[in-house]
């Protein structure tokens, strides 16, 4: 079982996928305060949840810590920022989620706050609290309209689709928030559900300010999870199918960044080059087996060190294998 690791308050919150902030050169800042998930979805690209075989650690970041780094990044971005809470688990596992949303809403330059979830931890009380705190949109992944198939896809015996739909309707009818239904198309397991999910989104009342539907393409990742029978479709086939289903249901399913107001924006500099050797200090367990969590000696970035689990406190030189989008992966050199 993965250990829960509280990220030290002096840790840089740029550099990792598992926690912190990610800037991909647009007005969207991805906010990842925790990594845990209550589900074990059969298609999960990050092998999340109780059935994970690869995760070595789950992370949680202090509220003040993540807000300090977010405010600094937002000041560089300017106006029209979307803060998107999209953890590698489920944001509802973060105990101070409403306080985080409130802090993001109070940050100068932020115009939209959105959140990605499978909804299993949502209820009327906590979504009302999030609405009051300033959350603008919930991207809710419902992968089937059939309760039994939805349970199987979630990899969780207690998954309650009807409760999730009830709370989704509450979001649309009783709060100021918008809702986008964001199923994962797991070919061929839920092929027959795509049109039904569009009709469900209409019935829920999704899409008052943004598109009501954002179907996601299931991607196979080296560290992800796959159920027997799953097949990966090409992007050509994905868009062809989205147009086909959209035309049949009278809905636009081929989405563009502009549908969400996403545009290029100032980005923080990447202080290192791919292939460069840097010294790092190991501060904790890595996210996955065979990894370690480290920070650069200059304190600018967090780094995932692959190629073995190193002792905490170890000082090593690594060659950076990846630096794109300030996500740093290194191997001992």
Of 266, 209, 217, which is closest to residue 239 (Cα–Cα)?
A: 217
The alpha carbon of 201 is separated from its chain's Cα centroid by a whole number of angstroms, namely 21
Residues of the chain with pLDDT under 70: none
What does the pLDDT read at residue 8? 98
Nearest C-alpha neighbor of 197 from the set 180, 210, 219? 180
Instruction: Note the pTM of the prediction, 2 decimals.
Output: 0.96
The predicted structure's pLDDT at residue 185: 98
CATH number of 3-260: 3.20.20.70
Q: What is the DSSP string of 36-94?
A: --S---TT-TT--STT-SSB-EEEE--HHHHHHHHHHHHHHH-SSEEEEE--SS-GGGS
Q: Where are the domains of the chain?
A: 3-260, 277-332
Q: So what's the pLDDT on residue 82?
A: 98
CATH number for region 277-332: 2.40.50
| Pairing mode, strands 216-217 and 329-332 | unpaired
Q: What pLDDT score was predicted for residue 165? A: 98
Paired with 23 in beta bridges are 29
- The reply to whether 3-260 and 277-332 are identical in fold is no
- List the structure tokens of 18: 């598992």
Left if phi > 0, otherwise alpha if psi is -120 to 50, otherwise beta: which for 134?
left
Q: Are 3 and 58 in contact (CB under 8 A)?
A: yes
The reported pLDDT for the residue numbered 321 is 98
CA 111 to chain centre: 19
Question: What pLDDT shows up at residue 222?
Answer: 87
């Amino acid at each position: 079982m993965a250990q829960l690791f509280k990220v030290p308050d002096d840790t840089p919150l740029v550099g990792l996928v598992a926690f912190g902030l990610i800037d991909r050169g647009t007005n969207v800042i991805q906010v990842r305060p925790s990594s845990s998930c209550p589900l074990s979805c059969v298609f999960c690209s990050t092998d999340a949840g109780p059935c994970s075989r690869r995760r070595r650690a789950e992370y949680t970041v202090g509220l003040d810590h993540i807000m300090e780094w977010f405010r600094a990044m937002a000041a560089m971005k300017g106006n029209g920022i979307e803060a998107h809470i999209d953890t590698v688990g489920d944001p509802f596992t973060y105990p101070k989620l409403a306080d985080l949303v409130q802090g993001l809403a109070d940050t100068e330059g932020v115009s939209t706050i959105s959140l990605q979830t499978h909804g299993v931890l949502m209820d009327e009380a906590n979504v009302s609290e999030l609405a009051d705190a300033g959350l603008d949109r919930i991207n809710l992944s419902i992968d089937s309209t059939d309760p039994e198939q939805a349970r199987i896809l979630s990899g969780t015996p207690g998954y309650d689709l009807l409760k999730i739909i009830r709370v989704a309707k509450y979001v649309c009818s009783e709060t100021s928030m918008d809702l986008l239904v964001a199923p994962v198309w797991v070919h061929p397991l839920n092929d027959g559900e795509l049109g039904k999910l569009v009709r469900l989104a209409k019935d829920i009342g999704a899409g008052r300010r943004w598109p009501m539907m954002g179907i996601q393409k299931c991607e196979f990742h080296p560290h992800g999870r796959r159920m027997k029978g799953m097949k990966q479709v090409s992007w050509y086939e994905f868009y062809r199918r989205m147009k086909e289903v959209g035309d049949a249901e009278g809905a636009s399913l081929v989405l563009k960044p502009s549908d969400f107001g996403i545009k290029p924006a100032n980005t923080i500099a990447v202080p290192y080059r791919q292939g460069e050797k840097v010294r790092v200090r190991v501060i904790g367990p890595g996210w996955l087996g065979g990894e370690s969590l480290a920070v650069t000696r200059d304190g600018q970035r967090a780094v995932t060190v692959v190629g073995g689990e190193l002792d905490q406190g170890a000082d090593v030189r690594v060659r950076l294998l990846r630096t794109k989008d300030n996500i740093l992966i290194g191997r001992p050199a």
